[in-house]
Amino acid sequence: MIRAATVHDVPEIRAMIRELAAYERAADQARATEEQLREALFGEHPAAFVLIAEDDETGGIAGFALWFPRFSTWTGTRGMYLEDLYVRPHTRGAGHGRALLAALAAICRERGFERFEWVVLDWNEPAIAFYTSLGAELLEEWKVCRLSGAPLAGLAASAPDVVRGQAV
């Protein structure tokens, strides 16, 4: 079963985020607290949304998908960005990942989103094979760029005074 997450799922969502980070060899980078997730997912202005996959036989939480809307200047339409898709190892192969992706695709169609995008680590061959089996196109020519820590702070410090301190 696929369902929308509730505030009561936050501890399990956080646990799965940490499990995913460990799988992706970056456990030390998964620092989100339950309080941060509660605010981000269920606060006054949600930053993201989560679907939960429950195992039909046990009723336990098998996985999750965390997504948020995005906008394409090229198409002039909204789209969906999938931040995390995770299915717990002991429940893999039962169709939970495919069901989560299908539910997200249905949300895209219902809302008129033209694009559904995410990234995958280049060494994660099982995930790559799974995504391409669904018809996903790997955009090899695009590279993810990220600013964080000191480089982000340094660039921000060079912003014009007109921008600093203003909500955009």
Q: Could you list the active site residues? A: 131
CA distances from 102 to 53, 116, 131, 140 (A): 12, 11, 12, 24
Alpha carbon 139 to its chain's center: 18
Question: Pick from 117, 107, 109, 122: which is nearest to 137 by CA?
Answer: 117
Q: In the numeric block, which tokens belong to residue 46?
A: 């949600």
Q: What angle do CA 42, 81, 119 make, to 5 degrees?
A: 125
Give the helix/strand (H/E) hosting 35.
helix 34-42
CA-based R_g, the chain, Å: 18
